[in-house]
Chain A
Amino acid sequence: MNGNTGKIINVDLDKGSIETELLPEEYYTGYIGGSGLAAKLFWERGSFSADPLSPEAMLIFMNGPFAGLKLSGASRNSVAGRSPLTGNWGDSSCGGYFAPELRYAGYDGIIIKGKAEKPSMLLIEDEKIHILPAPEYWGKGTDEANRAIKEKYGKNYRTLIIGPAGENLVKYAIILNEGHHAFGRAGFGAVMGSKNLKAIVVKASAKIMKLADPEKYEELRAELNPKIKEALASDVMRENGTAANLEGGVVSGDVPIRNYTSNYWEEMGQELNGGVLTEKYLTKRRACAYCSIACKRVVEVKEGPFAIPEGPGPEYETIAALGSLIGSMDLAAACKAGRVCNDLGIDTISAGGTIAWAMEAFERGDITEKDTGGIKLLWGDMETVIEKILPVIAAREGAFGMLLAEGSLSAAVKTGKDTINYTAQCKGLEVPMHDPRGGGHGLALAYAVSPRGACHVASPMLFLEMGACFYPEIGFEYELEPMTDKDKAETAVIAVALGALENSACFCQFADREIAIPEWVGLFNSVAGYNWDVQDMMMAGTRVFYLKRLINYLFGRTAKDDALTLRMLEPARDGEPEGVVINFEGMKNKFYELMDMDPVKGIPSFKKLVEYGMGAEAKRVWQET
């Protein structure tokens, strides 16, 4: 096989067994890699009845075809399976340094089932793969565990580690690479924790890769790397990180404030933006493997109540989720809260979303100090967030810790009193830090139809609405007006296919928006030898999207679950989008029509699935019901 290694590792922690396996090439041509190939493997082998935190649950790590090929942004990795947070299909992408090392060691992915008897870790050194006892790391924060593992094995051993939150099965626990890069969303840190697996460590001895057309690939790489590096967006993010334009987002109403109750807070925009982070706290810029953008931040807060030593700094999502969303405009506090979340192993987006819901519930009297164990929940009280709330979540301490550790949807269902109306989530996944009412109405549709729940990277809708990229070869050559529903359903049809491609190829959206469609095709063909044309490639993207829809259908999700909460759809109360109402149902109905999806079941028609080469899948869903 070219490009991909074709080989995965199957780990059964019940039996303590490890086997390698060669996958059929048609799995790759059909579903590419990353979250697409993981979906195919789950579809073929996963249990649709198993609790995601049971030993039977599958935990899948999967590379894309370009991992380790020294192309900017192309060395990410996906983790996937049934999300413990949502109960649906879940996947999460991570940059960092794990994917290339896994590929160099000879593997495209890892499938883990079972549960180790005692705390364990998986060590991969080329063909030598071992399940090792790891009691000394259990209970440790990600930073300490990462340092200890690297001290023992070597600094070039690449690590995936869970924190105490994963061990304690917090439903939005993360898996952290190199102590900095997170598989943040959907709670797969808890899945690792449920398997008593503290860490996965990989080291390769060589970098041998077989490509279909190495010369053509090198030609493309020589064109694309400078193009990505010199792009204006790359320059902006290299200088001031992903929060570089947070202040602009505040003016347009994109940045959520106090649990999505406000769309304008001028002073906050001036305090939390990436330029301020650079001036006050930045000590170094960092990049994921082979990436020339270098949007990662290393920060130090030297003094004050939120002082932290030099270490990983926050990205836009963390700054907003642990800042404006919970009523704070204290950047030092956001840095510290983000650092604490990393160390405890908690997703900053879901943490911010869940805490924001709780703060509003407290303000309304829907929960009281009786429910919180005496903790007062006040907007912007970052000391309480950092010192009390995050630790009780990670430890699942007391009734309040247990409540918030389940995420905002579960917490609202348990609390009752219509508190679900002011959750900001879709399918149980907390909404990321772009408010469709001010950021772009198409994003509301993108959040709703995303298989894993509210997600801004499941498709590039955010970038398409802001006019960051155009793809004339596939019909996207028109400018969108973000604040209307015009052409959004049509654009979403293109966006879901592109998003599935990106997340299956494990390409970073910040880098790949510089890649034109013919270049995408050239990459797949020169690396893996698929001989695709544009249509073949786009069909693969749509096929991946459809398959994830089918998986969710077998989990019991239907069209009615492609919905946003009342909070997300009520008219904005202030700022630029004040009074604006999103024509959500109109966009959704049109999207369903264009995708030939059943308006009740939420899955593609039998005929459409057959058209995409998914006849067997079609029989399974249409004959089982």
Chain B
Amino acid sequence: MKVYLVPVGIIKKYMKERDLEIEADLTAGTLVERLNLPNKLKTICFINGKRIDPDGRFTEGDIVKIVSTFAGG
């Protein structure tokens, strides 16, 4: 199935918005691993404004925001 990835904030530096074909049982944690983002960036997926646990899954057509927990002070 297909989902649409939207990088947010500093993640934009490492990936572009794009469609992604994934397996139906792919977890959010595995998706993040596949994006090959820097290891130091703790990254979370959001769908419809809600964060998805690493073992959470997607549905066809989801718009997935890819967000880092990085924060400045």
Interface residues of A (CB under 8 A from B): 231-233, 236-237, 239-249, 251-252, 254, 264, 269, 273-275, 295, 315-317, 432, 434, 439, 456-457, 462, 465-468, 482-483, 509-510, 575-576
Contacts and interface: CB of A to CB of B under 8 A. Distances in A.
Nearest to B51: A576
Given A237-B72, A509-B73, A252 B49 contact: no
Given A242-B73, A252-B46, 14 more contacts: A233-B70, A241-B72, A244-B9, A244-B10, A245-B9, A247-B9, A248-B10, A248-B67, A432-B73, A456-B73, A462-B73, A466-B69, A466-B70, A468-B40
B72 A254 contact: no
A467 B39 CA distance: 11
A252 B11 contact: no
Interface in B13-49: 13, 38, 40-42, 44, 46, 49
Contact of B8 (A239, A248, A315, A317): A248
A462 B67 contact: no
B65 A244 contact: no
A468 B13 CA distance: 18
B46 A482 contact: no
A466 B8 contact: no
A273 B9 contact: yes
20 contacts: A232-B41, A236-B10, A242-B73, A248-B9, A248-B69, A251-B8, A251-B67, A252-B67, A252-B69, A273-B9, A315-B72, A456-B73, A462-B71, A466-B42, A466-B69, A466-B70, A467-B42, A468-B69, A509-B73, A576-B51
A239 B72 CA distance: 13
A469 to B, nearest CB: 9
Interface of B: 8-13, 38, 40-42, 44, 46, 49-51, 65, 67-73
Contacts of B44: 252
A96 to B, nearest CB: 16
A247 B72 contact: no
Nearest to B49: A576
B71 A249 contact: yes
A239 B8 CA distance: 16
Nearest to A575: B49
Give the interface centre of B13, B42, B72, B73 by most chain A CB atoms within 10 Å. Answer: B72
Contacts of B46: 251-252, 576
B11 to A, nearest CB: 7
A248 B70 contact: yes
Contacts of A239: 13
A468 B41 CA distance: 8
Contacts of A456: 73
Give the interface centre of B8, B9, B13 by most chain A CB atoms within 10 Å. Answer: B9
A351 B33 CA distance: 42
Contact of B10 (A245, A434, A483): A245
Give the interface centre of A243, A244, A275, A316 by most chain B CB atoms within 10 Å. Answer: A244
Contacts of B70: 233, 236, 244-245, 248, 466, 468
A248 B44 CA distance: 10
A327 B8 CA distance: 22
Nearest to A463: B71
Contacts of B73: 242, 315-317, 432, 434, 456-457, 462, 509-510
Give the interface centre of B10, B40, B68 by most chain A CB atoms within 10 Å. Answer: B10
Given A251-B8, A252-B67, A244 B72 contact: yes
A482 B69 contact: yes
Nearest to A232: B40
A254 B67 contact: no
A218 B46 CA distance: 45
Contact of B72 (A242, A483, A575, A576): A242
Give the interface centre of A245, A274, A483, A576 by most chain B CB atoms within 10 Å. Answer: A245
B34 to A, nearest CB: 19
Given A232-B41, A244-B9, A247-B8, A434 B69 contact: no
Nearest to A254: B71
A466 B9 CA distance: 15
Nearest to A231: B40
A555 B10 CA distance: 43
- 10 closest A-B pairs by beta carbon, nearest first, are A242-B72, A248-B9, A466-B69, A467-B42, A316-B72, A247-B9, A245-B9, A232-B40, A245-B70, A245-B10
Give the interface centre of B9, B50, B71 by most chain A CB atoms within 10 Å. Answer: B71
A232 B37 CA distance: 11
A426 B8 CA distance: 31
Nearest to A252: B67
A316 B71 CA distance: 9
Contacts of B71: 245, 249, 254, 316, 434, 439, 462, 466
B24 to A, nearest CB: 25
A147 to B, nearest CB: 29
Contacts of A237: 72
Contacts of A245: 9-10, 68, 70-72
Contacts of B67: 248, 251-252
A274 B12 CA distance: 12
A295 B67 CA distance: 21
A576 B40 contact: no
A239 B14 CA distance: 14
Nearest to A255: B71
A349 to B, nearest CB: 10
A251 B13 CA distance: 17
Nearest to B38: A232
A325 to B, nearest CB: 15
B72 A467 contact: no
Contacts of B9: 244-249, 251, 269, 273
Contacts of B72: 237, 241-246, 274, 295, 315-316, 510
